[in-house]
Amino acid sequence: MIESVCIGCSIGCSLYVGDRIFHRKNAPHNEGKLCKFGMDLLKYYSREKAECKVDGKNVELNEAINEAKKRLEGYSGDEILFLTSCTATNEELAALKLLAEKFDAKCCFYGYGNALFSLKDIENFGRVILTFDPFVSYPLVARRVLKVKEVYEVGFVDGRVNSIILNPENPNFDDALALLDENTIALAEYSPLSTVYTPFLKEVVKSNAKAIVFNPTLNANFAAMLGFESFENKIDFDKVKAIYALEPELINGAIPSPELLIVQSAFSNGWCDKADVVIQSDSFHQKRGSVVNAEGRILINNGKSEQGVEILEKIGGFEQTASKVLETLNVNTIKEFSTVEITEEFREKEFKLKGEGKYYLTTKSNPFLWKGIDHKNFVELSVEDVKELGLSRTDRIKIGDKELCYKPSNIQKGYIVSEILISQLKGLTRVDISNLHY
């Protein structure tokens, strides 16, 4: 059994991976506990592997590496973009950064780094303000939140705790912000789908209130420490001619189509299908390396493979990855479960409501969490809307071109809660529903 880290979100639950998932009770952040994603991690790892390819033809690993190097060298630094979803080890991210520096190119990530408090610290606050439902997203937060006296959830539908309900046309965070004080901690998500909360986060950061920001990808904190630029932060994709993407799978949105797309990935996915060069690397649990979770805690993944780093070092012709990691963490040796401290300037986001439909589409959860894993094709509707639409138990509904099941739920009229749709429609949108009368 390998001591490993769940890649499902930035909590990075420690576990053992063997023939089965085994709980690692000694881990201070999750005490061995896992959410559904962690429990199902073996399914994630048993997916179809990526294959090394150049222009669609299968090649050996070395050939893919050499071809990637050769082709990258055809571009200047300002034409190349290195990017990652951060589902990678510290070592891989450091190597990616060194490679980008070699080319004098931009290195981007997807996420937000903060890390000042541990999950356990949440219990010591008198009040918590959440921008997500911890029973659905980042569920390892729930047991901490349950120990806090006053819990508020800011959102568009009524949550199971005190809810601060926002108007989707014009979300106003004044009520939530008024609650911030010495004794309050804000727990927020940072993902392209939660940009609606950005004005709130911005204020939280500005006011120096306590906050933990959770990312749907594992290692955003270390990318932030390395000085990666936020992926969405005004990157002009039109200017980018070549992209080197390290484990880009969890990056949401349309896959860019530059002249040259190189993808380093463990599993086969849409990015690999579009890539000119695919470099297959080992899956996360096989890797040897560290990560920094949302708390700023250093976690170890105790596999054997260092292939991910070797690939990047070969392309760049450097070997300083290990020292780059130590230097960035500001330590002499990597000690498991110890914490680092980082603060990052918060990045501005824009919020715009799209669509013209009757229903507001929203989510309670982090759709990445369930991506590729037993996705339930259903949405939640209010009981009133179910009646109004004349839906009976076996009926299917149609939203856009999607045929879906529905579940009556304790939410307000006029809303649809869906994990799957919101990821496909990219953010808060207004849509219509039709009853297919099955």
Which positions lie near ligand SF4, rule CB under 6 A? 6, 8-9, 11-13, 30, 34-35, 37-38, 138-140, 369
User: Distance (Å, rounded) from C-alpha 87 to C-alpha 293?
Assistant: 11
With CB cut-offs between 5 and 8 Å by kind, which of other proteins, ligand SF4, none does residue 165 bind? none
70 lies in the site for other proteins, by CB under 8 A = no
Q: Which residue is nearest to ligand SF4 (CB)?
A: 8
With CB cut-offs between 5 and 8 Å by kind, which of ligand SF4, other proteins, none does residue 8 bind? ligand SF4
* Cβ count near 247 (within 10 Å): 31
With CB cut-offs between 5 and 8 Å by kind, which of other proteins, ligand SF4, none does residue 24 bind? other proteins
DSSP secondary structure of 347-415: PP-----EE--SEEEE-SS-GGGGTTSS---EEEEEHHHHHHTT--TT--EEETTEEEEEEEES--TTE
With CB cut-offs between 5 and 8 Å by kind, which of ligand SF4, other proteins, none does residue 171 bind? none
With CB cut-offs between 5 and 8 Å by kind, which of ligand SF4, other proteins, none does residue 137 bind? none
For 199, residues 6+ apart whose C-beta sits below 8 A from its C-beta are 171, 173, 351
Shortest Å distance, C-beta 413 to other proteins: 17
* Contact yes or no for 95/320 (Cβ under 8 A): no
For 413, residues 6+ apart whose C-beta sits below 8 A from its C-beta are 382, 384, 385
* Contact yes or no for 6/138 (Cβ under 8 A): no
Q: Which of residues 377-406 bind other proteins (CB under 8 A)?
A: 378, 405
330 lies in the site for other proteins, by CB under 8 A = no
User: Distance (Å, rounded) from C-alpha 86 to C-alpha 319?
Assistant: 21
With CB cut-offs between 5 and 8 Å by kind, which of ligand SF4, other proteins, none does residue 31 bind? other proteins
How deeply is 158 buried, as exposed, middle or buried, from its count of CB atoms within 10 A (0-12, 13-18, 19+)? Answer: middle
Number of residues that bind other proteins (CB under 8 A): 35
355 lies in the site for other proteins, by CB under 8 A = no
Stretch that binds other proteins, among 62-70, 141-149, 164-172, 341-349 (CB under 8 A): 141-149
| Residue among 260, 270, 345, 213 nearest 74 (CA) | 260
* Cβ count near 171 (within 10 Å): 19
Q: Between helices 61-72 and 307-316, what is the axis angle to 10°?
A: 40
Shortest Å distance, C-beta 139 to other proteins: 5
With CB cut-offs between 5 and 8 Å by kind, which of ligand SF4, other proteins, none does residue 358 bind? none
Q: Smaller CB distance to ligand SF4: residue 138 or 152?
A: 138
Stretch that binds other proteins, among 134-142, 167-175, 176-184, 428-436 (CB under 8 A): 134-142
User: Distance (Å, rounded) from C-alpha 230 to C-alpha 272?
Assistant: 22
Q: Which residues of this chain interact with other proteins, rule CB under 8 A?
A: 1, 16, 20-28, 30-36, 38-39, 135-136, 139-140, 142-143, 146, 160, 376, 378, 405, 407-410
